[in-house]
Structure 1
Amino acid sequence: MDIETNDAGGSSRSALWRSVREWGVVIVVALVAALAIRTFAVQTYFIPSNSMAPTLEVGDRLMVYKLAFRVGQVDRGDLVVFNRPESMKNSQIKDFVKRVVALPGEQVQAINGVVYVDNLPLPEKYLTGDSPTTDFDPVDVPKGQIFVMGDNRSNSRDSRSFGPIDVDLLVGEVFVRIWPIRNVGRP
């Protein structure tokens, strides 16, 4: 004599638990991936001051590629995020956003409002006439360091005040503005 058992309730519970476990694994993997990406690859930053205006405005949100300088090199004109230099340890700002103006081994100076790198005028199409560059004496950029400046030259604390920065302080390169919506894109 054969006895049939109806285990529909048991198999549906088993399928439910299997589905919950699968979703749990997916969620954990997604969280770990998001944390790894934020820690090692990409991070958002907020612009707290107008030192980079008009290129970047107060309140802009940026995505920064943190691996940029681990797999490539720093180039003149790059917008970079870097950790506060030791000479700025009393500043409440932890991270700075500035433009790379001179590279290791180069000499930079400003004469009559024009920045010169190795005695050649630096083309700076991103600047407006609203914020002239104050003159400064020649600075030799040491190996392993870069010279950075804000685009709002009259309202920026940059290498003119704290000197060239170690490339080890670089967090990454700005690659896109994500806020405000009207300005989304490459700055």
Structure 2
Amino acid sequence: MQLKKLASTFIVLAGLVAGGNAAFAADPENTMIITLKDGDVTIALRPDLAPKHVAQIKALVREGAYDNVAFHRVIDGFMAQTGDVQFGDMNEGYDADRAGTGGSDKPDLPAEFTPEHYVRGTVGMARAQSPDSANSQFFIMFAPAPPLENQYTVVGNVESGMELVDKIKKGDPAQNGVVSDPDRMIKVRIAADK
């Protein structure tokens, strides 16, 4: 038991050293790996905080729905948003004017707000005005954003590869971070699926 606890502590510390916000070490079933143009970003999903949101994300990952989806809104010093599987697939049906307005064929989710802090590396679910409108889109924080706490559902934390998230092409500040010719999630998988 003690060895398992030490191994878990090591994983958390390794994530912090790698530049992530790994206050939680996920098992392979709850580890999402996003391949970007510069390498892999590993995210510890948090079913302990948001079981419905994490289940939906994992289902979309396993369907391949997130592959080739654009980072359509990226605001330097704030966050990088992606996950619009309806209008953001850069290989099939990409619509630059509508990217960020769609979701998936799955139902919207009820909010699962927690007092979890939005810090560098936090992964949260994007939503429309209604708190119960999150579907497939998510964002990765570049920096802390306390105003988001208890307003958006936290679904995970970057364990490694945050330096790669920093390299995602930024959007136009005058256009609320909309990115022309955006970077994409090349491939997304759950670690347990190898």
Q: TM-score, normalised by structure 1?
A: 0.28
Structure with larger RCO (C-alpha < 8 A, sep 6+): 2
Computing the radius of gyration from Cα coordinates, the structure with the larger value is 1
Which has more helix, going by share of residues? 1
